[in-house]
Amino acid sequence: MSDYIVSARKYRPQTFDQVVGQEAIVTTLEHALASNKLAQALLFCGPRGVGKTTCARILARTINETDNPNDDNDFAFNIFELDAASNNSVDDIRNLIDQVRFPPQVGNYKVFVIDEVHMLSTSAFNAFLKTLEEPPAHAIFILATTEKHKILPTILSRCQIYDFKSIGIPDIKNHLEKIAKKEGVTYEDDALHLIAQKADGALRDALSIFDRLVTFGEGSLTLEGVSDTLNVLDYDTYFAITDACLENKIPEALHIFDKILRKGYDAQLFISGLGGHFRDLLVSQHPQTIELLDVGENTKAKYIEQGKKCMPQFLMDALDICNQADINYRASKNQRLTVEIALMQIGSLTQQGQPKKKSIA
Ligand SMILES: Nc1ncnc2c1ncn2[C@@H]1O[C@H](COP(=O)(O)OP(=O)(O)OP(=O)(O)O)[C@@H](O)[C@H]1O
Ligand SMILES: [Mg+2]
């Protein structure tokens, strides 16, 4: 067996200051701990992979350490975790309640973490309610869920609620950068950016994509490799199409589109992506909006450069055409043609003296 550990586990934060992008939660928890105002029942809600279980474990450890700062006991056995996704019966909850009764042998608190608490059956919920209402002084409950709306109001009203947010791209990227350095992975800034973007706010997803790509790229991450593997159209394709359209080279634009289709990309994703590209060019034209451009450093420079070549009116018209094509796409009988027409229209926008409409007379 190899001793390879996936990054999500290897880099699970052990202390609050290592938790990324949840400053509000961490500060509140730390204050509550310091001033002894921690509720006995906490509900951690938020999207998947953003640090709920991690914070529950850190809290469980900290709360016993705070009370016995000189004690170097391992408090791991004061933490009880129940995954309600697979243990959702009344019996599972009864077992848990049995554990609640007895005070801990070391430390002052027993912490019960119930993950995916929305999966508990109704009868399990009911069995749990009493304990939650009048827990013994040594018991702390941390309920975690991705689906807050599925939690019964009777439970919600008995808990202090902590809303975890999804993690922003810069935070994810920073985190990946630190890990890449520790692991000796060479990387392009834009490659990490793309991974962070793809993770859609979930740090765990970012780490597993990272692992997969590092293995695939044999220890190095390039933008090209990453976009190829993630099957995202790379920025360069959009830059090339835009250049062709600006110079009215319609055949070239159509050829690039053909190549994209032959690589197996979806035509609608392409046309909405192209719309996004024109939007990015627009925002890159002004110092006030450039921060709305969500790409890595190298790519940003390319946007600014191409942005200089485009009249704002061209970009707005092109955006409009992409938008219309995107809307019409589903209903179209010839979807490829819908996109091709859009490309031809965009490729004609800068033509000198082009009549607005062909006169019929
Ligand atoms: N805020 C964060 N800071 C640092 N690492 C994080 C953070 N969130 C997630 N991670 C990483 O992702 C892994 C999984 O996080 P965690 O188990 O805490 O997510 P979760 O919110 O409980 O997700 P789920 O809803 O799927 O249970 C952690 O081991 C850690 O490596
Ligand atoms: Mg969890």
Domain check: are 159 and 176 in the same one? no
Tens-digit pLDDT profile for residues 290-321: 989 888 888 899 999 999 999 999 999 999 99
Distance 230 CA to ligand 2 centre (A): 25
Domain check: are 209 and 326 in the same one? no
At 229, list the tokens. 């593997």
Q: In total, how many domains does the chain have?
A: 3
CATH of the domain at 126: 3.40.50.300
Residue 2 belongs to some domain of the structure: no
Tens-digit pLDDT profile for residues 115-125: 999 888 888 88
Domain check: are 69 and 155 in the same one? yes
For residue 347, the tally of other CB atoms under 10 A from its CB is 22
CATH of the domain at 342: 1.20.272.10
> Domain range holding 258?
235-348
Residue 354 belongs to some domain of the structure: no
Confidence of residue 356 (pLDDT cuts 50, 70, 90): very low
What is the per-residue pLDDT for 71?
Answer: 57
User: Phi/psi at 234 (nearest 5 deg)?
Assistant: -75, 160
Domain check: are 35 and 158 in the same one? yes
Tens-digit pLDDT profile for residues 129-160: 888 888 999 999 999 999 998 888 888 898 99
Domain check: are 180 and 269 in the same one? no
Please choose from 5, 19, 50 the residue to mutate so as to test ligand 1's pocket, defined by most ligand atoms within 8 A of CB.
50
Distance 28 CA to ligand 1 centre (A): 18
Domain check: are 339 and 215 in the same one? no
Above 60 in pLDDT, residue 23?
A: yes
Residue 360 belongs to some domain of the structure: no
**How confident is the model over 40-51, as a mean pLDDT?**
94
Residues 6+ apart with CB under 8 A from 62: 15, 16, 33
Domain check: are 64 and 157 in the same one? yes
What is the per-residue pLDDT for 353?
Answer: 57
Residue 107 belongs to some domain of the structure: yes
Domain check: are 129 and 246 in the same one? no
Distance 138 CA to ligand 1 centre (A): 26
Domain check: are 299 and 271 in the same one? yes
Where do the H-state alpha helices sit in the chain? 7-10, 23-34, 52-67, 90-101, 122-133, 153-156, 169-183, 189-198, 203-216, 223-229, 235-246, 250-262, 267-283, 297-309, 312-329, 335-348
Distance 66 CA to ligand 1 centre (A): 23
Which residues does a 6 A CB cutoff place in the pocket of ligand 1? 8-9, 11-13, 19-22, 48-54, 115, 144, 146, 167, 203-204, 207
Backbone torsion region of residue 174, taken as left when φ is above 0, otherwise alpha when ψ lies between -120 and 50, otherwise beta: alpha
Please name the residue whose Cα sits nearest to atom 26 of ligand 1: 48
Domain check: are 50 and 120 in the same one? yes
Domain check: are 246 and 264 in the same one? yes
**How confident is the model over 201-216, as a mean pLDDT?**
93
Distance 116 CA to ligand 2 centre (A): 7
At 98, list the tokens. 């049995």
What is the per-residue pLDDT for 361?
Answer: 46
Confidence of residue 240 (pLDDT cuts 50, 70, 90): very high
Report the percent of the chain where pLDDT is more than 70.
93
Give the ligand 1 atom nearest the CA of 175. Answer: 4
**How confident is the model over 225-230, as a mean pLDDT?**
87
Q: Is 60 exposed, middle or buried (0-12, 13-18, 19+ CB in 10 A)?
A: buried
Where do the H-state alpha helices sit in 46-115? 52-67, 90-101
Residues 6+ apart with CB under 8 A from 119: 84, 85, 88
Residue 130 belongs to some domain of the structure: yes
Confidence of residue 358 (pLDDT cuts 50, 70, 90): very low
Residue 1 belongs to some domain of the structure: no
Mean per-residue pLDDT of the chain: 89
Nearest alpha carbon to residue 106 among 63, 59, 58: 63
Distance 142 CA to ligand 1 centre (A): 15
Give the Cα separation of 333 and 170 in Å (integer).
41
Please choose from 6, 204, 208, 210 the residue to mutate so as to test ligand 1's pocket, defined by most ligand atoms within 8 A of CB.
204
Domain check: are 103 and 185 in the same one? no
